[in-house]
Amino acid sequence: LSSWNNPAKGTQYFLSALDIYQSIGDENGVAVCYMQLGLISYMLQYYTDALKNLNLSIKAKETPVAVYLAALSYTELDSFKLAKQYFSKSIASYIHNGDSSGLYESYMYLGRLHLKTEVLDSAFHYLNSVVKRNLRLNDHLSLIRPYAFISEYYLKINDVDKAIFFAERSFESEQNRKTGSTDEISSIQSAKVLSEAYAKFGNYKN
């Protein structure tokens, strides 16, 4: 967690650890260090650098998390074909490993990718599956981001009432959060949808 508060120091520590793991031939350690370096770059929005490190991590030892993070990075760079390939690999690994948490997080961002590429039926399929699963878990915090993303789907199909409903549920839940770190991505996403949805109604004050 300190890496996100101080990415420069985090990078320094991981590079030092990487040298040690490389010197003793520890592939697992090398893979973890490159993945963490890639994650720091991703969080700083240096997506090309993130991919460089993530692919080095995958080369050392392929893990579904590194593959998933690479898929996210390709999405941000609008390399959608590669992003889909990496999502498919991470999803297959999560299914094989029985990791439902990783699986549905991949589904959520694959749904977001389909939103970006206007493949709306597929976007709804993946996002709705995440919403249904998290509702079954009765975990309201886990619904903040999928609600934010699915609200954009409803805005795109011009179902403005549902767009506002889900965006408001996401935004209000995030504003009322009492535990965990702030989810700025969800706040920005839901606020953006609410702004556009209210504008469609001519409600410019809201």
Dihedral over alpha carbons 98, 104, 105, 110 (to 10 degrees)? 120
Helix (H), strand (E) counts: the chain: 11, 0
- Measured distance CA(70)–CA(39) in Å, rounded: 9
Q: How confident is the model at residue 175 (pLDDT cuts 50, 70, 90)?
A: confident
Instruction: Give the confidence band of 180 by pLDDT, cuts at 50, 70, 90.
Output: low
Q: Tell me, what's the pLDDT at 198?
A: 79
Q: What is the pLDDT of residue 115?
A: 95
To the nearest whole percent, how much of the chain has pLDDT over 90? 68
Is residue 70 pLDDT above 50, yes or no? Answer: yes
Q: At 200, which amino acid appears? A: K
Which residues, at least 6 apart from 71, have a Cβ–Cβ distance to it below 8 Å?
A: 83, 84, 86, 87, 90, 106, 109, 110
102-122 tens-digit pLDDT: 999 999 999 999 999 999 999
CA 101/CA 108 separation, integer angstroms: 11
Longest dimension (CA), the chain: 65
Model confidence at 1: pLDDT above 50? no
| Contact by Cβ (8 Å): 110, 88 | no
Average pLDDT over the chain, rounded to whole?
90
- Residue 183's closest CA among 197, 172, 193, 194? 172
**Token pair 């490159």 in the structure block, residue:** 34
Residue 4, pLDDT > 70, answer: no
Per-residue pLDDT, averaged over 152-158, amounts to 94
- For residues 29-56, give the mean pLDDT: 95
